[in-house]
Amino acid sequence: MNEAALSENNAMKQPTDTPMPTATVEMEVPFHDVDMMEVAWHGHYVRYLEIARCKLLDMLDYNYPQMRDSGYAWPVIDLRLRYAGPARFGQRIAVTARLREWENRLKLDYVIRDVESGKRLTRGYSVQVAVGLEDGEMLLASPAALSERLAAWQAEQALTHTSDSPASPSETQGTP
């Protein structure tokens, strides 16, 4: 496996001790997104990422309306894409967003794959920072509104995974 593939695999793996939210949306590349060669225009990929990012933020109950209501805007300050293959008209694609960093900023990793073959078409990331709506100042740490929601999501995931796993021998034997 080459270095880029290893890096992508590591970036998209979820640590077992602290789960990080991951959301995948499937869609069909629409006609209005393609050029005369039936290839999706490169700028439309950003919209596909945004759809997956919003699904991920919905999982945390901290999408754009909740951000605004908590007193913060979260502008994108960095966005990188790497195109490995074209998305074509009518093609089913899966867009995955995974939260990688949240303590000082929101950093999400993305992968766009062909649904049928699983072939990676695009990968990238975005970085957003919290900016106070009242004063326009950028925060150096993510606000509690995000941290609390992520902690609640992680706790819910821990409970879900604990209840899904088979009981350990000590649990079934009732040891003190």
pLDDT for the residue 18? 77
Q: pLDDT per residue over 106-124, tens digit each?
A: 999 999 999 999 999 999 9
Cβ density class 78-91: b for 16+ within 10 Å, e for less: eeebeeeeebbbeb
Mean pLDDT (the chain, rounded): 86
pLDDT for the residue 119? 98
**Domain 3-155 carries which CATH code?**
3.10.129.10
The span from the CA of 105 to the CA of 100, in Å, is 10
